[in-house]
Amino acid sequence: MSIKSRRPASRTMKLLGAGVRTLGRSVLQKLPMGDEIERRARHWETVGRDWAETLGELRGAAMKMGQLASQYAELLPPALGDQLRKLQRSAEPLPYADIKAVLDAAWTKSQWARLAHIEPVALASASIGQVHRARLADGRAVVVKVRYPGVREAVDADLTQFRRLLKTSRLLPVDAAAVDAVMAEVRARVLEETDYRIELEHLHTLARDCALPGIVYPQAVPELCGESVLVLGEESGETLETAAGWNAGLRGRLADTLAHWLLHSFFDGRAVHADPHPGNFAFRADGSVVVYDMGCVKQVRPQTVETGRRLLRAARAHDWHGLHTALAELGGVRADADFDALLPVYREFVALGLDRLLARERFDCADPAFIDDLRAAGRRHWSSAFKFQPVSELAFVMRALSGQYWMLRALGARLPMRTLFARYVDGDRRGIDRM
At 173 the three-state DSSP class reads: coil
Which whole number is the average pLDDT over 53-72?
A: 54
Angle between helices 196-209 and 176-193 (to 10 degrees): 90
Which whole number is the average pLDDT over 87-107?
A: 85
Identify which has the larger pLDDT, 292 or 69: 292
pLDDT tier, 112 (very low <50, low <70, confident <90, very high otherwise): very high
Do the Cβ atoms of 106 and 216 come closer than 8 Å?
A: no
- Cα 409–chain centre separation: 16
Angle between helices 155-169 and 36-58 (to 10 degrees): 170
- Given a cut of 60, is residue 269 above it in pLDDT? yes
Partners of 132 in the β-ladder: 144
Q: CA-to-CA distance for 213 and 287, rounded, in angstroms?
A: 10
Which whole number is the average pLDDT over 139-154?
A: 90
Please choose, from the candidates 93, 52, 90, the residue with its C-alpha nearest in 3D space to the C-alpha of residue 69: 52
Q: Where are the beta strands (DSSP E) in 96-184?
A: 115-118, 124-125, 129-136, 141-147
Q: pLDDT by residue (tens digit) across 8-46?
A: 555 454 544 544 454 444 433 443 434 444 555 565 566
- Given a cut of 90, is residue 426 above it in pLDDT? yes
Q: What is the DSSP string of 201-226?
A: HHHHHHHHHS--TTEE-PPB-GGG--
Partners of 54 in the β-ladder: none
Please choose, from the candidates 54, 284, 317, the residue with its C-alpha nearest in 3D space to the C-alpha of residue 169: 54
148: number of Cβ within 10 Å = 26
Q: Residue 95: what are its φ and ψ, rounded to 5°?
A: -60, 150
- Given a cut of 60, is residue 397 above it in pLDDT? yes
Q: What is the mean pLDDT of the chain?
A: 83
- Given a cut of 70, is residue 68 above it in pLDDT? no
At 124 the three-state DSSP class reads: strand
Partners of 145 in the β-ladder: 131, 230
279: number of Cβ within 10 Å = 15
Identify which has the larger pLDDT, 23 or 171: 171
Q: Which of 101-115, 118-132, 184-198, 397-411 has the lowest mean pLDDT?
A: 184-198
Q: Which residues contact 388 (CB under 8 A, 6 or more apart)?
A: 174, 332, 333, 334, 337
pLDDT tier, 404 (very low <50, low <70, confident <90, very high otherwise): very high
Distances from the Cα of 79 to the Cαs of 26, 33, 171, in angstroms? 14, 19, 13
- Cα 282–chain centre separation: 16
Q: pLDDT by residue (tens digit) across 346-394?
A: 999 999 999 999 999 999 999 989 999 998 998 898 888 778 888 989 9
Please give the model's pTM, rounded to 2 decimal places: 0.78
Q: What is the pLDDT of residue 24?
A: 43
Do the Cβ atoms of 51 and 196 come closer than 8 Å?
A: no
- Given a cut of 60, is residue 188 above it in pLDDT? yes
pLDDT tier, 90 (very low <50, low <70, confident <90, very high otherwise): low
Strand 289-291 and strand 215-216: the pairing is parallel
Identify the top-confidence range among 19-28, 73-82, 123-132: 123-132
Q: What is the pLDDT of residue 29?
A: 42
Q: What is the pLDDT of residue 25?
A: 42
Please choose, from the candidates 155, 166, 123, 214, the residue with its C-alpha nearest in 3D space to the C-alpha of residue 23: 166
Q: Sign of the CA dihedral 319, 320, 321, 322?
A: positive
Q: pLDDT by residue (tens digit) across 150-166?
A: 888 777 776 776 666 66
Identify which has the larger pLDDT, 7 or 254: 254
Q: Which residues contact 366 (CB under 8 A, 6 or more apart)?
A: 409, 412, 413
Q: What is the pLDDT of residue 26?
A: 45
Q: pLDDT by residue (tens digit) across 322-332?
A: 999 999 999 99
Q: What is the pLDDT of residue 344?
A: 96
Do the Cβ atoms of 36 and 337 come closer than 8 Å?
A: no
Q: What is the pLDDT of residue 167?
A: 61
Q: Helices (DSSP H) in 217-338: which residue ranges? A: 240-243, 248-264, 302-316, 320-330
Identify which has the larger pLDDT, 431 or 256: 256
Please choose, from the candidates 339, 345, 343, the residue with its C-alpha nearest in 3D space to the C-alpha of residue 380: 345
Q: CA-to-CA distance for 42 and 37, rounded, in angstroms?
A: 9
Q: What is the pLDDT of residue 277?
A: 84
